[in-house]
Structure formats: structure tokens, C-alpha cells
Chain A
Amino acid sequence: MKHHDCDALPAGWDSPLATLTGFFRKTFVIAELEIRKLRHDPTELFFRAVQPALWLLVFGQVFGRMRGTGIPQYRDFIAPGILAQSVLFIAIFYGIAIIWERDLGIVHKFLVSPAPRSALVLGKALSAGIRALSQVVIIYVLAAVIGVHINWHPAALLGVAAVVVLGAACFATFSLVIACIVKTRERFMGIGQVMTMPLFFASNAIYPIDMMPRWLQVIAGGNPLTYEVDALRSLMLVQGASHYGIGLDIGVLIAATAILTAVGVRLYPRVVT
């Protein structure tokens, strides 16, 4: 290493093209960091299987026997909902990791690096998406065991993976925004608990929108989780049908992620103070 001939700024380092490719490269570097972490210690992912297993094997089985739900194949109905729920839980507690990195000073080093703030935030969102993909494997195994009619077409599988990454990115960014506001683990844990259940129950994850009282239907209609579940239901199942149309579903998720990322980019640098 020769420090006396310091690196000069490379020519054209701030040109629009260099900025754009740099942005995507840095986003993937942050995601790569997550993959490397998971490779060293994947045990956490397996513990994540317990909760969806309970919902699918216990709640799904019992609730499916109830008369008058109007859903002939309840286990088919609930499987995509539980996938979306597991993804939500992983993503919504991602803020804890942000606060952890803040307390350790890791965030400080990221922010002093030339990586664009937007790439850091989106990289974190993508990291949550990668983490959430493990849930796809777990839920598909469980669903296959209980006889859910899964659409195994490669295009459908890819579609599910894409929606899962997008959904996780959306709620992880939401979580990041909250983390940047509350800044301490204790407060975040409290708020995290308070947020997750309403998001879950005010969605079409475990019952159809039509069954809800009117006021809840309105709330569910504004909940990104509803659109994630809707997209998953149409892609994951053999006779899956989308209520809103998959284009709208994905559009809502992308729009929500974009808005939350914009807010996160403003708040993330302030997390160090």
C-alpha cells in the first residue's frame, strides 16, 4: 500500500451514468453483505419456520372445518396468506438490525463511504427480501405436505419469489423509517408488536375481504399486505385468481416501496445523531 500517492478521484466519477451504475452496484454490495452473514450462520432461518407451521397446520386445519366460511378449500386460501405473513414478520423487525448497526457504529461507516444513501436504504430492503426468500422454501414444503394445490410452473415460482422480495422490501423500508425515528431497541420492539398484528388482521391473509365489516374493508384496501397476498394467491395456487389484478398488486407494492425509500433516504443519515 502506498499512501503517499493517494487515489485521485477517478475521471467522470460524478457523471450521470457512473452515478446510476454505482447506485445499483452499491445496492447489491449491501445485499451481498447480508448473504455472507446468512452463509456464516443460517440457523436463525430455521427457527423462523415454527410460526408459519403453527398457522398452517393448526389454525388452517381447524378454521377450515368451520361451516359457513364460504371458502371451499381453506388450506389453499390460507397458504399464500401465511407466506405473506412470515415475510411481513421478517421484514417488520428488520429495523432492529438497523438500530443494532447504529449502536455498533456500522451505520456511521456506511454513511461516510461514498455509497449513495439511496443505495444503502434500498440495499437494506433487498437484504430483507433475500432473507424472506427462505420463507418461500419453508412454506412450500409445509403446504405440499398438507396437500395445498401448488402451481409448480417455473414462471409461477419466479413470480412468487419476486413478489416476496418486493413485499419484504416494502415492509423492511417501513421498518427502517420507524427505526430511524425511534432509534432505540426498546421503543422499536414495542412499536413493532403494535404494528404487525393490525397489518396482518386488516388484510386478506386469513379471510376474504368480502367477509369483513365495511370499515375494515376500507382499511384493508389501503394495506399493501392485501396486495401482496392477492398477488401471491394468484401466482402460488393452481386455480389462483387475483382479485385486483396482478398488475395493480405489483404497482401498489412498488409505489409503496418507492415512497418509503424516499422517506428512508431522508431519515437514515440522521440515525447517527
Chain B
Amino acid sequence: MNILETHDLTKEFGRFTAVAQLSIAVAGGETFGLLGPNGAGKSTAIKMMTTLLPPTSGTAGIAGYDIVRQAGAVRRVIGYVPQLLSADGTLTGYENLLIFAKLYDIPRRERKERIDSALEFMGLSDVAGQLVRTYSGGMIRRLEIAQSLLHKPQVLFLDEPTVGLDPVARHLVWDHITELRREYGTTIFLTTHFMEEADILCHRVAILHHGTVRAIGSPAELKSSLNIAEPTLDDVFVHYAGDSLATEEGGFREASRLRRITRRLG
């Protein structure tokens, strides 16, 4: 059974079409990746599904709830980790989780246990009492994933989960996401422009370019569709999304934003 479905989901900003008629279906327990160069419309698509942006046209349903008409219900069954590192640096790791436990109506008697187990699952128990300011980028990202898991979401949305992280931190985040999927069967919807990330984490991927889906399938299927020797997902990506990984679409804003994230991670 599909836990997430979109039908012709479209978002226009003025005359610019960020996402055009996106129609995808994600099965329960699946990890689905939306791949694309910067500016391809990945974040816009994820913002619509998480109720942050109203679609211009088309529909989408999550766990049977409509993202526009039943936005409140959708918000209760999804978890979301935005692209930016968004944990509050002036609070401790524990407090960051506590605030969200309260916002998500987790009963008082269960709060501590859930927060503790989420922190432990993400390997952050030892630093729970420290201010998040003192965390590394990888730790902040893991804290945010812990934050998004407190209410046991049916679908977890990760927008560029490892952007700006160094390779070691990136692999650690991948390990945790893999474990999350394996142990609890959480459906994960992620966006990325790292081919390796999609290859390791995703059951199926859709390649998005200029707001439209160019190809969809498992990484293996997409690779074998190319008819070249030892294809990589990079080859697939170049084949479907043009010859550059970072198009000019993102432009100055994208570049300065990425640099800001990198700087913040120190």
C-alpha cells in the first residue's frame, strides 16, 4: 500500500515553474530519493508535501490525508528535517527535544523515556546536557533526526540530510538512517544531489530536472538502462539531468547559502 502519493503536483512562482506535474508513489517502509541538481525543485517538492507551501495545482496524500485539506493531520504523521541545520544552538540537546516533544503532544509520562531513547539511538546520550552550539555539524544533524522521530512519524522527510558535512560525519548519518529503516521500517523520503547517498540509502530514486521527473526506478534499474560498462549513478544522473551536477539555476543565492551552512559547521 502506498503511504505517499502525489498526482500532478505543481508549484509555480509567478511565471517560473519550480515543480511541474510531479506524480510519484512511495510504498510503506520504502526509502525514496528525489535527486536533482541545485535548483531542480527538490526542496519545493518537499515543502509542498510537508505542508509548508501550498501547491499551485495537483494533489498529494500522506497516510491517506490530503496535504491541503487535512494539513493538520498530515503534520501529525510526518517528521521533517529541513535542509538547514536548524537545532537551537542556545539550548541543550535535551531541551531541543523536550520543546518538540511538547509541541507534538507527547504525554508527560512518556516524554523523558522517548527523548532518552531517541538520543541514544542517534548516539548523542553523552552530550545531551551540552549546549548545541558546542556540537559538530554531524551531531547537530543527528540531533535533528532524533527531534523528528519523537512522535514516531509514519513518513520521515529529510531535505539534503548530509549537505555540508564532512565524509566521516556523512557516513555516520547514513549508518543511522539505514539502522532506522532496518529496525523500525520507517518510510523515508529524502532529497539529495549526492549520488553515493542515493545509491547507499534509497530503494528507488526519481531524477528531477527543471521541475520534471526525467527517470524513476531503483538505482540498479537506472544504471542498467544506460547500456554502458560499469555504470555508476553519476552516469545515470548526467544522462538524465544534463552534463553538469550543479547548474546555474541555483545561482548566487544557492552558493551563498551553502557557504553559510559550511561556515556554520566550522
Residue ranges of A at the interface with B (Cβ–Cβ < 8 Å) = 1-7, 9-10, 13-14, 22, 25-26, 29, 32-33, 36-37, 40-41, 103-106, 108-115, 269, 272-273
User: Whole-angstrom distance from the CB of B108 to the nearest CB of chain A?
Assistant: 11
Most interface-central of A22, A108, A109, A269 (chain B CB within 10 A): A109
- B147 in contact (CB, < 8 A): yes
* Chain B residues near A113 (CB-CB < 8 A): 75, 100, 103-104
| Distance between B48 CB and nearest chain A CB, rounded to angstroms | 11
- In the complex, how many residue pairs between chain A and chain B have their CB atoms under 8 Å apart? 102
B207 within 8 A of A: no
Q: Please tell me if the beta carbons of B82 and A108 are within 8 angstroms of each other in the complex.
A: yes
Q: Is the interface of B mostly helix, strand, loop or mixed?
A: mixed
B218 at the A interface (CB under 8 A): no
If A13-B76, A41-B90 are given as contacts, then 7 extra A-B residue pairs at C-beta distance below 8 Å, sorted by A number, are A3-B185, A26-B103, A103-B84, A104-B86, A108-B80, A112-B75, A272-B53
**Is A6 within 8 A of B77, CB to CB?**
yes
Partner of A3, one of B50, B86, B147, B152: B152
Residues of B contacting A41 in the complex (Cβ-Cβ under 8 angstroms): 90
- Beta-carbon nearest neighbor of B148 in chain A: A109
Q: Count B-side interface residues using an 8 Å CB cutoff.
A: 44
The proximity string for B residues 76-117 relative to A, scoring 1 for CB distances below 8 Å and 0 otherwise, is: 111010111110101110010001101111000000001001
Complex CA gap A22/B72 in Å reads 13
- Nearest residue, chain B, Cβ from A38: B90
Report yes or no: B114 in contact with A115, Cβ–Cβ below 8 A: no
Query: Do the beta carbons of A10 and B184 come within 8 Å of each other?
Result: no
Cβ of A110 and Cβ of B52 under 8 Å apart? no
How far is B71's CA from A14's CA once the two chains are assembled, in angstroms? 12
A272 touching B52, Cβ below 8 Å:
yes
Taking the closest CB of chain A, its distance from the CB of B91, in whole angstroms, is 6
Contact of B51 among A9, A103, A112 (CB under 8 A): A112
Is the pair A29, B99 in contact by a Cβ cutoff of 8 Å?
yes
Give the chain B neighbours of A13 by CB distance below 8 A. Answer: 76, 105
Q: Is the CB of B149 within 8 A of A14?
A: no
Contact A114–B75 (Cβ < 8 Å): yes
Sample of 28 A–B contacts (CB below 8 Å)? A1-B114, A2-B184, A3-B152, A3-B183, A3-B184, A4-B185, A9-B76, A9-B77, A14-B72, A26-B102, A26-B103, A33-B88, A37-B88, A40-B131, A105-B85, A106-B86, A106-B88, A108-B80, A108-B86, A109-B80, A111-B51, A112-B51, A113-B103, A114-B76, A114-B104, A115-B103, A272-B52, A273-B53
